[in-house]
Amino acid sequence: MAAPVRSDGPVPPFDNSSMDGYALRASDVTSAPERLRVVGTLMAGDDPGPLTVGEGEAVRIMTGAAIPLGADAVCMVERTHAEDAWVVVEEAVRAGTNVRMAGEDIASGAEVFAAGVRLQPAHIGVLASIGVEEVVAYPRPRVGVISTGDELVNRPGPLPPGKIRDSNRPSLLARLREDGFTPLDLGLTSDEPAALTEILDKAMASCDAVLTSGGVSVGDRDFVKMVLEELGGQHARWLQVAVRPGKPFAFSVLPPRGAPVFGLPGNPVSANVSYELFARPALRLMAGHTDLDRPRLRATAQVDLRRQPDGRLHLVRVRASTSADGLLLVRPSGGQGSHQLRAFADANALAFVPDGEGAAAGDPVEIMVLDPDGLGAARE
């Protein structure tokens, strides 16, 4: 939401019953049992009109029906029994019992949602309840995705010698969609600077941001960083980030509209981790979110998470799950090479293992949750 929403009426819109039973005057049933004369019936949706509950009277009422004039409480049907045109109330009832007051959920004129709120299913229901069909929202950033590499092919079938299939583009496109952005598939490009320039130029016409993968390392054909510098000038950055995976990273802001370009590394795990760490929070900011980062939780290593000191923070692909006694436990989800994307697919979190010798089984570790659906206790 880019602007707050107010309600121009109360929710609930009128005092109504939360039970099937009898609307009555609490002053008539300060003690029980008490016999009241039934003077009418109100179903949900009925207009109560001038129907009035007088002294010694009750109205048969269903859940959601408006409280009739004169009544100030409802006795649930289970605590009554009917006798012809009468009802016997079997327990004392206090004023307000089983009455849902108008405006109890939302007062008339109240701000219902502030700017920056993400519309989730319950929000949609609330908007419907106040009759709001249109809100002012931030547009979803349109994010182009380009894979770079002379070795990449784009199709199934036998691979020519030396070639591999492009896995970064499909996974980044899916990630963008899952994160609520609008992905735009800009295809594959060779490691030719002219081809890269052309595709980035074209991207500027349709995209609010661009992700590239590959070509930001120190290889002889790693031209993405160079092209980003040529196109972005003073805004261009080429970084060696002290993380593993995801060390090489390029960034630039391209004319004419100042669209950010995230030059992710080529190795599939590195590309996905860099997206998570650097691109996703920035794209969320562009989309108007105020909470930018994935949730971080404290977990316990289920097995040793050993490593060597190298001056870098290690992001270990882990499977986190809740043990029978409620502890969040993590273990590696598979091979930890930056080319081993399958272990990323099997992971639901990244464990932050700081520089040093790593963690031993039983040690606390901080994790960044990628998929909260997977955190629950496994079903037997």
Binding site for ligand AMP (CB under 6 A): 147, 149, 151-152, 164, 166-169, 213-215, 217, 219, 222, 265-268
Min dist. Cβ of residue 149 to Mg ion (A): 4
Q: Which is nearer to ligand AMP, 168 or 321 (CB)?
A: 168
Do 253 and 235 touch, CB atoms closer than 8 A?
Answer: yes
Min dist. Cβ of residue 215 to ligand AMP (A): 5
Q: Which is nearer to ligand AMP, 7 or 148 (CB)?
A: 148
Q: Which is nearer to Mg ion, 97 or 213 (CB)?
A: 213
Min dist. Cβ of residue 375 to ligand AMP (A): 29
Min dist. Cβ of residue 165 to ligand AMP (A): 7
Tokens representing 146 are 């380009």
DSSP symbol at 306: E
The residues near 355 (Cβ < 8 Å, ≥ 6 apart) are 309, 310, 311, 312, 313, 314
Min dist. Cβ of residue 216 to ligand AMP (A): 6
Strand-pairing partners, residue 260, are 253
Binding segment for Mg ion among 143-151, 205-213, 226-234, 322-330 (CB under 5 A)? 143-151
By a kind-dependent CB cut-off of 5 to 8 A, residue 167 interacts, out of ligand AMP, Mg ion, none, with ligand AMP
Q: Does position 149 bind Mg ion by CB under 5 A?
A: yes
Whose CA is closest to 188, among 205, 178, 177, 173? 173
Q: Does position 265 bind Mg ion by CB under 5 A?
A: no
Q: Please count the helices (runs of H) and the strands (runs of E) in the chain.
A: 7, 26
Instruction: Give phi and psi for 362, each to the nearest 5.
Output: 95, -15
Do 14 and 71 touch, CB atoms closer than 8 A?
Answer: no
Paired sense of beta strands 164-165 and 142-148, if any = unpaired
Q: Which is nearer to ligand AMP, 155 or 298 (CB)?
A: 155
Q: Which is nearer to ligand AMP, 151 or 304 (CB)?
A: 151
Please give the single-letter amino acid code of residue 250. Answer: A
Radius of gyration, CA atoms only, the chain: 31
By a kind-dependent CB cut-off of 5 to 8 A, residue 319 interacts, out of ligand AMP, Mg ion, none, with none
Q: Does position 268 bind Mg ion by CB under 5 A?
A: no
Looking at beta carbons, which residue is closest to ligand AMP?
266
Q: Which is nearer to Mg ion, 266 or 332 (CB)?
A: 266
Binding segment for Mg ion among 75-83, 146-154, 292-300, 344-352 (CB under 5 A)? 146-154
Q: Which is nearer to ligand AMP, 102 or 224 (CB)?
A: 224
By a kind-dependent CB cut-off of 5 to 8 A, residue 168 interacts, out of ligand AMP, Mg ion, none, with ligand AMP
Where do runs of H (alpha helix) occur along the chain?
121-129, 168-178, 193-206, 224-232, 268-274, 280-286, 341-345
Q: Does position 214 bind Mg ion by CB under 5 A?
A: yes
By a kind-dependent CB cut-off of 5 to 8 A, residue 171 interacts, out of ligand AMP, Mg ion, none, with none
DSSP symbol at 339: T
Q: Which is nearer to ligand AMP, 155 or 379 (CB)?
A: 155
By a kind-dependent CB cut-off of 5 to 8 A, residue 268 interacts, out of Mg ion, ligand AMP, none, with ligand AMP
Do 42 and 161 touch, CB atoms closer than 8 A?
Answer: no
Do 213 and 264 touch, CB atoms closer than 8 A?
Answer: yes
The residues near 68 (Cβ < 8 Å, ≥ 6 apart) are 23, 40, 42, 48, 51, 52, 53, 59, 61
By a kind-dependent CB cut-off of 5 to 8 A, residue 213 interacts, out of ligand AMP, Mg ion, none, with ligand AMP
Residue holding tokens 């691979």? 159
Please give the single-letter amino acid code of residue 235. Answer: H
Q: Which is nearer to Mg ion, 12 or 268 (CB)?
A: 268
Task: Count the alpha carbons within 13 Å of 171 in the hemisphere toward its beta carbon.
Answer: 21
Interacting residues with Mg ion (CB under 5 A) = 149, 214-215, 266
